[in-house]
Structure formats: structure tokens, C-alpha cells
Amino acid sequence: MLSRVSPRRAPQAGGGAPAPFVLARDADLPRPVANVLEFNAPVHGNWNIVHTGMLVPEAHQIYVCADNCLRGVVLTAAEMGASGRFSSVVIEEGDLLADNLESVTIEGVSDVIRRLPRRPPVVMVFLVCLHHFVGTDVAYVYDELERRFPDVTFMRCWMDPVMQKTGITPEQRERKAMVDPIQALPEDPRLVSVLSDDLRLPEDSDVFRLLAGAGFEVHQLHDCATWEEYLGLGASTLFLTRSYFGAWGLAKMAARIGRRALYLPPSLGYDAIDAELAELAGALGIGAPDTAPLRAEADAALDALASRLAGAPVAIDYLAVNHPLELARTLLEHGFDVRRVYVDAVGAEERASLGWLAAHAPELELWSTIHPMLRQLPRDGGDRWLAVGPKAAWFLGTDRFVNAIETDGQWGYAAILHLADLMRDAWERPKDPRGLVPRKGLGTPCACQLPL
């Protein structure tokens, strides 16, 4: 029997019916709004496993899955213009009845590799939920593939959304698989590598400036044109990542080869930025930088923008910036009228920011982006809102929005200045959210992404 999962009347925080938002003062961890059925808004998200895997030079991706689950990844490869680096092995019901999944996987992947016009040096094999369900002997599968193709490096990846919210996620497993082949090379004490990040670290970021100013050479995954160049990153004295999903695997790889790895999340609070810069400087054996001039520059930029907005309401979403609650705090401290943050989960990195918001901005609304009631609510009341992020723009129906993901790749005080510029431009140059926010793969060379 069907039952209604949402009320007929408009939701109110603190009311009797489950609402798609809570006030900061009432928010629980780790999920401010409890999980129910999920709604998927027609808004581009952050990068998926296909986008990320394409960063590995010369890699070919093979997905072993039922065809109904392949639609999204196939479209991603096509939109990127990278179909030539993507293949699939379709599992049908008859395969499970007539054979075992080990044989189906091994023979299917082998057939794909033999048919390729050029033998790739590395193949990313993505197993799926079904391999868990039937108890596939995964070690045997890879042992046999490596025996058949000794000239190919196989990366052990997963596309198993059943594991998305418990334990190690598919994104974390993929990024670990991406760095597992890196071996220790003779150490270059002046070489630092940036790995496991989707977006390139800009040269004007605080991290890059600190490294370059101290005489270190910075290599990034994005610099590598060949598989050999990628393996050459094993000479690095230090590995860096800004990605939460990449930190777990990078730390394991660095420990394995006797080097050091640092996770430097894109913080947007002054004290957090200073602490991370000091940690990086300590790892390099140099003095921590004087950030007073950078603080003053950020203060001036934010104060000027707050004056320009003249009290306009601001909403932030978790797609635009890695630390949306931290950005909300920074903006509130500079006089912005931040009223909403769209966020589904609050990690440990943002707990202090949530505590500050609960004490100093208790009426701030924390909205889910996946609550089923969101599909029923009107999206035409945001004419005078400034949205930082595509989901906030879509839910509010505003044409003044920052269409960025993952802090647009920036880091530190440079990230704050960059966001201030993006927010000012968004306020002064309205754009069509319906034409922009559904476009997948923001920041990648996708056929679907047109110039803004």
C-alpha cells in the first residue's frame, strides 16, 4: 500500500511534519536533516568516478555492470569526448544462471582489451554491487587478468553505490587505486607532487606560492601526459591533496614508499588556513608565512562586497565550496546576510563551524538537497538572492549565482578573494540557471559545457 512521505502543507522547521531544513541551533550531526526517500535535483554535481579516472594518463576504463546502471557513466565518457578510453562489459541475468561472475568478468575484460586498437599500459576495472552480492572472488579475478596481460597495470576500482554511505566509499577506493601503482624512486628533496585532486591547484593559490617561494618544484597529476611521467611522481619528497576522498589512499601510498603525505582541505576560515600553512611549512622544514597582509586583503575584499550587496540574502551550497558552513561563518563575520546553507552531511572538519553558527546565527537555515519535499516546493522566490553554488541557485530560482564546484580549485586566502570576485560578478551579471546548472562535468573539457 502506498503512503504519503511528505505533508500536503508547506514545511516548517520545528513543526510536526518532517521538514527539508532545520535551524542551525537545532542541527544534529552528522546529518542535520534526517534521511528519508531521496530526491535528485537536475543539477550538475561534483565530478563522478569517470571524470576522476580520466585524469590518469593513457588509462582505459572498463565497467562490468548491468546495462541499466551503465547509462550515467557511458554518458559521462561521451560528454567528455572520451568514449575511446571507455568500455563496458554488460552483465545479463543469463550470465549468472549459466556461469559464475568470475568467468564473466575475466572473459569480458579480456575480450575488451584484445579488441582495443592499442594496448593501454593501465586499465581501470570497475566492479559493481552485484560482485558483492554473489560473493565474487575478486582476488582471483585480478590474479587471472594480470597473468593474461603482464604488460598491463590493473587498477582495482568499484562502482557500488550500496557502499556509498557506509565505510570506504567508491570515490575513496578509486583514488587509492589511482595511486597504488606509484613506487618509490630515488627521492628528489625539492619535488612536491599534488595528487588525487579533481581540479588543478592554481599557481596563485597560497599553497603553490609557499612552495614556489621556498624553491620547491611542484608537479601535479594534471601535468602528466604519459603513464611513465605519472609513475615518475614516485620521486617526490612530499605528496599533497586537497581532496577528502583522496586523503585516505594517498596516506597509505606515502607510508608504503616511505614518504610523507599531507591533506590540506580548502578551508575558508582565517585560523584554519593559517594552521594548514604552518603544517605545510613544518613538513618542508621552513618557517610559517606571515599571513597578516593576506588577512587584510581578504578583509577589504569581503567588506567591499558586503557593502555592494547591501543586505541581499545569500545562500551557499556544498557543491560550490568544500566547507560551506565555514564560508557561512566567514561571510557572516563580515556583515553578509547569509540565510541558507544547502548541505546534507556535516563532517568533522565543519563541526566547529556548526557550533559557531548555532551560537551566533541560530536562525540560519540548513537545507537538505535530497529531501523528497523539495520537488514540490516553488522555485521562483529567489529573485533578489545571491546563490553561491548551482544547487542553491536551482532551489531558489535565482539568476544571480556562482556556478562553481569544489571551491573552483582554489585554496586559502586566494580562495576567499577568488570567491569574492565570483560573487560580485554573479550579482552584477545575472545568468540563466535552467541553461547552466544541469550541465555535467563542470571544469572538464565536456562537449556539454559551453562558455558562460
The residue-averaged pLDDT of 274-298 equals 97
Q: Give pLDDT, residue 162.
A: 74
Q: Which of 15-24, 386-395, 426-435 has the lowest mean pLDDT?
A: 15-24
Q: What is the side-by-side strand order in the sheet with 386-388?
A: 21-23, 365-367, 337-342, 313-317, 386-388, 401-402
Interval 323-329 mean pLDDT:
98
**In this structure, CATH architecture of domain 294-436:** 3-Layer(aba) Sandwich (3.40)
CATH node for 49-171: 3.40.50.1980
- Residue 6, CB half-sphere, CA atoms under 13 Å: how many? 19
* Domain at 188-284: CATH code: 3.40.50.1980
Identical fold for domains 49-171 and 294-436, yes or no, is yes
The pLDDT, as a whole number, for residue 228 is 98
User: In which band, very low, low, confident or very high, does the pLDDT at 98 lie, cut at 50, 70 and 90?
Assistant: confident
| Long-range contacts, 158-164 (Cβ 8 Å, 24+) | 158/126, 158/127, 158/128, 159/49, 159/63, 159/65, 159/69, 159/73, 159/126, 159/127, 159/128, 160/127, 160/128, 160/129, 160/131, 160/132, 161/129, 162/129, 162/132, 163/129, 163/132
Segment 10-26 mean pLDDT: 72
Q: Which residue has the higher pLDDT, 379 or 256?
A: 256
Q: What is the pLDDT of residue 224?
A: 97
Task: Please state the domain extents for the chain.
Answer: 49-171, 188-284, 294-436
pLDDT tens track for 191-231: 999 999 999 999 999 999 999 999 999 999 999 999 999 99
pLDDT, tens digit (0-9, with 9 covering 90-100), for 392-450: 999 999 999 999 999 999 999 999 999 999 999 999 999 998 888 888 778 776 534 43
Predicted pLDDT at 447: 39
pLDDT at 5: 53
**Mean per-residue pLDDT for 150-160?**
96
| pLDDT value of residue 450 | 36
